Amino acid sequence: MGGALQRSFLRIVAMAVKEATHIRRDPQTLALSLAMPVGLLLLFGYGVTFDLERLPIAVVDQDRTSVSRTVTESFANSREIVVAARPDSVADGEREMRRTRAVAVLIIPAGFSRSLGRGEAGELELLVDGVDANTAVQTINKADAISSMALPLEPGATSDAPRLVAETWTLYNPGGRSALFIVPGLMAYILAMVCVLLTALTVAREWERGSMEQLFTTPIRRDEIVVGKLLPYVGLGVLDVLLVLAVGAWVFDVPIRGSLPALGAASLLFLVGMLGQGLFISVITKNQMVATQVGALSSIIPTQLLSGFVFPVANMPWWLQPLAYVMPATHYIGALRGILLRGNGFSEVWVQLLALGAFAAVIVGVSAAKFRRRLD
């Protein structure tokens, strides 16, 4: 029994060494596995952001007093909003929005300063372009914050102060930086794409080159072939995880607040699952072009749209949510955000680890079962 296990181990090692030699001699594979994740993280990390600054607005000053000019300058001097136009009428302001030169029109009505002088509330009107809901909400929030600070209450002034004041604290991301939300999702997105594409070409390349027949003449079993082919790519995947984590922490200031062993376990299970998915694709297609296309379609689009990377799973239609929870990227993104940002450990992410482990075991097992030692 011990001799059989030793021989099996040696065959797996020989298969892994053979595959590692192919990788070392293939600069395209090395570039895909090492340079591509870092490049994509930088590209998407800088290009995909929900933090909007310098939003252009038009200001229609119907009051034309020193007070209204103070309000206008308060908006113009803020970093979040830019006064792009000062039209004479509301109709001209709406025209600026239709031409996409402004995302909102601030209206300072006539009598604004007179109302303030009488101790009454000064009312401002804001017309917002609602085509982009995220931009509209941020514009309203920023305009509200700027207007509340533009004219503070003078000493002795009275106001209807509320009897109950609620104080709020924002945990885990107090600055509201979208990079802290985006980068963990980007990590899963990039690793899924790269890992699936790497192994999607493995067995398909063996079939096309005719070297699969040589494997069939050896005593190596199909499960040993599968494990031996996966091992070198697992090593590359671990290196990719370290590179992406380092770039995320260095460039985007993404913290690592939680358990490193939990992070390592989640990353390893996710890597095995995605590499197994690519291997399964290569086993059933036996063609590099088809394997690449199927690998891209099965990793890029689902991970981007259904994993919670951008859109919360809870907001998806009920019939899509089961599909989202089957995908390993959904659980890996949840684990990453919990470990990196909330400081979670094994006790908080064990459900995600269990889901990742189940997917990895099933997909690798199915890949081994689908591999046949025969020529069709």
Q: At what angle do helices 222-252 and 202-209 cross, to 10 degrees?
A: 130
The DSSP annotation for 217-252 comes to TSS--HHHHHHHHHHHHHHHHHHHHHHHHHHHHHHH
Classify domain 55-149 by CATH architecture.
3-Layer(aba) Sandwich (3.40)
Residue spans in the chain of domains classed CATH 3.40.1710.10: 55-149
**pLDDT reported for residue 47:** 63
| 215-244 residue pLDDT tens | 666 777 777 888 888 888 899 899 999 999
pLDDT tens for 66-103 read 888 988 888 888 878 889 999 999 999 988 888 888 99
Q: Which amino acid is at 152?
A: P
Q: What is the mean pLDDT of residues 19-40?
A: 74
Query: What would the mean pLDDT of 29-41 be, rounded to a whole number?
Result: 75
- Mean pLDDT for 273-278 is 93
Q: How far is CA 324 from CA 264, 332, 352, 358, in A?
A: 23, 12, 13, 15
- With left for phi above 0 and alpha for psi between -120 and 50, is residue 253 left, alpha or beta? left
Strands (E), the chain: 55-61, 81-85, 104-108, 125-128
Q: For the chain, how far is it from start to end, CA to CA, in angstroms?
A: 34
Q: Is residue 105 within 8 Å of 124, Cβ to Cβ?
A: no
Comparing 207 with 269, the larger pLDDT belongs to 269
Q: For 103-144, what is each residue's pLDDT tens digit?
A: 999 999 888 888 877 777 678 889 998 876 678 888 888 888
